[in-house]
Structure 1
């Protein structure tokens, strides 16, 4: 009898913990952390802690998973679960269902959300995996015009690697391309009309993103475009691991956890099939052998690797005596442009994440950087 009762209680708890499939779109709410609390990968105290949300942090509330947990997104874009207890979180606005959602697509892998249909256009942010968006039109074979759940409009790759249509697109595409290529990533295109990203093609008789032909391109331009596309592919692969827990000396044969060099290595392996050395110092030597490097991080390009000395503290004076090519490398990350770095460095920080460089110890510790391509 007691055993049967325990099974019934467990089944009831499991049913409560698993949210029913949503039949309507949800308008996200907002909340503020009132006391430091675990930010977890799943709605369970047995799940991994990505990091601790700090007092005063604001989060977007995506759903009330059950009576005990909220699914939330922090300001860096990481999505996870947090206790719904008022001792830890103050709900400002609750997530609400909207019966007739205009969403007609879902993001299947993290992708650039840009202000114009071009790989050189300013980035609004990264759309995250599983986000629902509304595709308002297809600009050409390579770009969709979309609106996110907050009403922000922009452009995203039309590649099925990044977005999946779940409904019809009103009015269809607004223009057509005349090239023969298909978009497959976040970068730009190379060669004879075959694109490898969100950008425009510049090969023989191919399109420039709006359906017009640009004729033949030079080999130098093609090479530069190819490198840009590869860099975007590496970044997209790395972004797919946002929130993956940190572990020093992580197993290079799994993606369950990463240390800094393992994460960089996996991003290149996933995106391009390139296997970099397994530690940051060796990766630094690899970059110096394969490309020109710079000691000014502001001169780096998207997708370049950044190498740092060990952490000594937050004051710039602690790093005054560093020697870029003699000081031991202790950390590596991927430069995103706009003063941002994609990296992982501690359990407490929540694993793979995006950080700002300027005015922080990252800037003071920086030794050199360059391309691994």
Structure 2
């Protein structure tokens, strides 16, 4: 798509450097013991679609190896079996805190893009499940790329993502200022001519689509 046409429908975009004001988790170099306070499902992947390994029993001790994102720990049981379990304090009692790191914007942007490229060719499905990577819609794809690369949990849909990034700040409606890795938010399509968007305050339009800018 021609960049000029693309820009006409652009409601706003968020700089990757703004998102980096939100804590970014690094791969953990330490482990922490945790206690299962309510029987929890140990899964093969950090997703509700991950296959069931077994139930962790109430009172069982496990080792937290990493926090994948807001919702999942990577853990190991006393038999050395590894898997993923919910981070909910209703099930797991721990003092574990994921380490954080400040990445340079260009480094973070490339990590996001690389993470997204892994899913090239994944089928599109409107309203796709947020708990597996079998299909994606626009906001699900953006959310997954940021989760995989920066362990940053964005909201589930494009409008909520837009509301979230507005709280972080540094948005623009000028596509000339976009950099790779920025999140782009789009308003409803009104035509292929620039005149179709004359007089529209794009920053006030309802978000209907988003994506990651590649450059």
In structure 2, what is the equivalent of residue 358 of structure 1?
Answer: none
Which of 1 and 2 has higher RCO (CA within 8 Å, sep 6+)?
2
In structure 2, what is the equivalent of residue 284 of structure 1?
Answer: 162
In structure 2, what is the equivalent of residue 308 of structure 1?
Answer: 186
In structure 2, what is the equivalent of residue 174 of structure 1?
Answer: none
In structure 1, what is the equivalent of residue 126 of structure 2?
Answer: 248
| 1:233 partnered with 2:115 | no
Deviation readout 1:126-181 (Å, 9 max, x if unpaired):
xxxxxxxxxxxxxxxxxxxxxxxxxxxxxxxxxxxxxxxxxxxxxxxxxxxxxxxx
> Number of matched residues?
115
| 1:299 partnered with 2:185 | no
Larger radius of gyration: 1
Deviation readout 1:255-277 (Å, 9 max, x if unpaired):
11111100000001111111101
Write out aligned runs for 1:52-131 (5 A).
Answer: none
Partner Cα separation in structure 2 for residue 270 and residue 289 of structure 1: 22
| 1:327 partnered with 2:198 | no
Deviation at 1:246, TM superposition (A): 0.9
Partner Cα separation in structure 2 for residue 285 and residue 321 of structure 1: 23
What is the DSSP-based 3-state SS (H/G/I as helix, E as strand, rest coil) of the residue aligned with 1:254?
Answer: coil
Deviation readout 1:284-305 (Å, 9 max, x if unpaired):
1222211311110110121111
Write out aligned runs for 1:77-226 (5 A).
Answer: 226=104
Partner Cα separation in structure 1 for residue 169 and residue 135 of structure 2: 29
Partner Cα separation in structure 2 for residue 282 and residue 328 of structure 1: 11
In structure 1, what is the equivalent of residue 146 of structure 2?
Answer: 268
Partner Cα separation in structure 2 for residue 296 and residue 309 of structure 1: 14
Deviation at 1:318, TM superposition (A): 2.0
The structure where helix makes up a greater share of residues is: 2
Q: Which runs of 5 or more structure 1 residues have no equivalent in the other structure?
A: 1-221, 338-373
Deviation readout 1:233-255 (Å, 9 max, x if unpaired):
01100011111111111111111
Asked if 1 retains the 8 angstrom alpha-carbon contact of 2:173 and 2:203, the reply is no
What is the DSSP-based 3-state SS (H/G/I as helix, E as strand, rest coil) of the residue aligned with 1:336?
Answer: coil
> TM-score under structure 1 normalisation?
0.30
When the two chains are superposed, the root-mean-square deviation of aligned CA atoms in Å is 1.7
What is the DSSP-based 3-state SS (H/G/I as helix, E as strand, rest coil) of the residue aligned with 2:213?
Answer: strand
Dislocated runs of 4+, deviation >4 Å:
none
Partner Cα separation in structure 1 for residue 150 and residue 157 of structure 2: 19
Deviation at 1:319, TM superposition (A): 2.0
In structure 2, what is the equivalent of residue 181 of structure 1?
Answer: none
What is the DSSP-based 3-state SS (H/G/I as helix, E as strand, rest coil) of the residue aligned with 1:325?
Answer: helix
Deviation readout 1:176-212 (Å, 9 max, x if unpaired):
xxxxxxxxxxxxxxxxxxxxxxxxxxxxxxxxxxxxx
